[in-house]
Amino acid sequence: MQMLDHDSRPIILGDEPQGIRQELQHQAQTNFMRCLQCRSCSSGCPVFFAMDFGPNRIIRLLQLGQFEQAMQNSTIWICVGCDTCSSNCPMAIDIPAIMDILRQYALDTNSIILTPEILDLHNEIVSSIKRYGRTHKLEIMLRYKVKKKSWFEDMDVGIRMLSKRKLHLLPSKVKSLEEIQGIFREVRPVSWPKGEVS
């Protein structure tokens, strides 16, 4: 069965893995079944132009149980979690939380990541916070560039940031680093219901 949503690209309906919709809502602590498809979220999203499709469509896919399509797109990785969409949402749906949990779900189920370079950047940022309790931007950028093997790309931006003292040469650690590292140790993997999407 095919349905057409706002941008006229078909949503392919298939079997719905049992219990995943409830678990996604539980983990995100928000009820996306209340979505009216008013599209206020997508209209206000500052990075909508770069996404495969807007956040309203992600919600629609989840409502229809199309979890694979909801995970395998650039949208969930391009979202910067700015919360503009949720502020605009008349149903108070926490869309950034949904994007977060979809990213986690994609990783846990070894789903195809359409924008692996964004995931690499995420990983470098998290590693930096684990090491120092805060981000050391210069190191993040250098490690990311090494991984991408794009040594000279954006070099002019880096030099400008250094000259304006927006980048620090050496990292500094927060005083309560042990507490921050304790948070990472406490994080437990989500136990997804059987019938995961792969």
When the beta carbons of 13 and 80 are compared against ligand SF4, the nearer one is 80
When the beta carbons of 10 and 81 are compared against ligand SF4, the nearer one is 81
β-strands 10-12, 2-4: how paired?
Answer: antiparallel
C-alpha distances in Å from residue 61, one per residue of 15, 37, 192: 13, 11, 18
Q: How far is the CB of 4 from ligand SF4 (least distance, A)?
A: 16
Question: Which among 68, 53, 67, 77 has a CA at the least distance from the CA of 4?
Answer: 53
Q: How far is the CB of 68 from ligand SF4 (least distance, A)?
A: 20
Distance CA 16, CA 13 (A): 9
Q: How far is the CB of 128 from ligand SF4 (least distance, A)?
A: 22
Q: How far is the CB of 42 from ligand SF4 (least distance, A)?
A: 7
Query: Residue 18 gets which letter from DSSP?
Result: T
Binding residues (CB under 6 A) for ligand SF4: these are 35-41, 45, 47, 55-56, 59, 79-85, 88-91, 93, 95-96, 99
Q: How far is the CB of 113 from ligand SF4 (least distance, A)?
A: 17
When the beta carbons of 81 and 182 are compared against ligand SF4, the nearer one is 81
- Cα-trace Rg, the chain: 19
When the beta carbons of 70 and 79 are compared against ligand SF4, the nearer one is 79
Distance CA 17, CA 15 (A): 6
Distance CA 59, CA 62 (A): 5
Q: How far is the CB of 8 from ligand SF4 (least distance, A)?
A: 17
| Tokens linked to 194 | 């059987």
Distance CA 66, CA 52 (A): 16
When the beta carbons of 47 and 155 are compared against ligand SF4, the nearer one is 47
When the beta carbons of 96 and 158 are compared against ligand SF4, the nearer one is 96
